[in-house]
Structure 1
């Protein structure tokens, strides 16, 4: 089965407070995006990578690819107005039957085991959404006030969200809705259920400056 990783790195880096997007910042001397791409290539040597980048930073992305990887297995396309549209742009480059990983470019610490676990589950059920347990107390706020929610019934969603192409490609042909914050939402709106798999505590999303410090510590240990 052919494998594609659509790596979405279209963020602007506003919360990071830097001039360049966080996916291009250096982590132990290499761009954050390097670690993300490397993780998928380490998991499967035949995987094809599709990078979805901000239009104004396409050249910077090409420099990273040319500097660290064999560019023949990596395609680059521009992002869209929202995550949905960015993923949609990446999916347009896939025509053959395949298993498709959709991953946040700034979740650079995912393991080979997680990628392979998602692949195996998607092969069996058509989808695989990595999640972790919610460890904090949670309250829901409404106009009437607020109330506690049983955290044992909640899961924190990660990526790579993984699907068979027969599910994901037609799902992304439906019209965009504001609630489409991830691929699982889109597939469910298409009328299908998704399968949850165990994620990883270290599969953090680099959003704020402190996350770079944490990521460096994880890499060192």
Structure 2
């Protein structure tokens, strides 16, 4: 049986830092909600079997309407998010327990990271199939300074040993499930990224080539940057 790839798309946040009346993933940019822009990236990737969207509870009905309006046929399930990012991913992982095989793969991605070239999706899937897991990653170029008070720095951090990771992250489903079950046993809910949980569980995490354009929309400045990046040809966003 061939391995299949399923997406857990995280749309459970409320976006307090954006200071808007609606969750930031539902803000309309260029005629489409941000969440729809992101879902369409997976909708058109032939390697993706189905999508489960983990959504803030009060917006699930609205999301169902958007899925129908924009013909997001790969969105098979919509479930409620948790109180933390960790809990939202866990909800998605546990929801799939009786629906997919342990040797299938899940791709976890933030709905508010809509600039996602197809090659970036393909790369994280490729590496995860080879290694069991993969995180979209880029080398760290800016100087990094260690601080204890966020007002002053006391040490340089060696960039030669630092990688910047972000979603999408992909994992063999059985591995991810085992790690989230362990976190439940330990009553731990603070792993924002699944890769951090894997490290906690003693696993080595692997890097897939990412892109600096893979921004997370958090502020109004990010919205302006997103609008600009939408006009950039995809082949220039991942090279």
TM-score, length of structure 2 as denominator length: 0.87
Query: After superposition, where does 1:41-120 map in structure 2 within 5 Å?
Result: 41-44=43-46, 46-71=48-73, 73-94=75-96, 95=98, 96-97=100-101, 98-120=104-126
Structure 1 residue 70: Cα displacement: 4.2
Structure 1 residue 178: Cα displacement: 5.4
Paired with 1:214 and 1:147, the residues of 2 have a C-alpha distance of 31
Are residues 140 and 75 of structure 1, via their aligned partners in 2, closer, same or farther at CA, if it must alter by over 3 Å? same
Paired with 2:119 and 2:181, the residues of 1 have a C-alpha distance of 31
Are the aligned partners of 2:40 and 2:72 in contact in 1 as well (CA < 8 Å)?
Answer: no
Structure 1 window deviating more from structure 2 (35-44 vs 173-182): it is 173-182
SS in 2 for 1:74: strand
Are residues 72 and 210 of structure 1, via their aligned partners in 2, closer, same or farther at CA, if it must alter by over 3 Å? closer
Query: After superposition, where does 1:51-200 map in structure 2 within 5 Å?
Result: 51-71=53-73, 73-94=75-96, 95=98, 96-97=100-101, 98-142=104-148, 146-175=154-183, 176-177=187-188, 179-200=190-211
Structure 1 residue 190: Cα displacement: 2.1
Are residues 199 and 145 of structure 1, via their aligned partners in 2, closer, same or farther at CA, if it must alter by over 3 Å? closer
The runs of 4+ residues in structure 1 deviating greater than 3 Å are: 70-73, 142-145
Structure 1 residue 44: Cα displacement: 2.2
Deviations 1:35-75 (A, max 9, x none): 11111121226521010011111112112111102446421
Paired with 1:72 and 1:47, the residues of 2 have a C-alpha distance of 7
Paired with 1:46 and 1:162, the residues of 2 have a C-alpha distance of 12
Are residues 80 and 178 of structure 1, via their aligned partners in 2, closer, same or farther at CA, if it must alter by over 3 Å? closer
Structure 1, unaligned runs of 5 or more: none
Are the aligned partners of 2:42 and 2:48 in contact in 1 as well (CA < 8 Å)?
Answer: no
How many residue pairs get aligned? The number is: 221
SS in 2 for 1:205: coil
Q: CA RMSD for the aligned pairs? A: 1.8
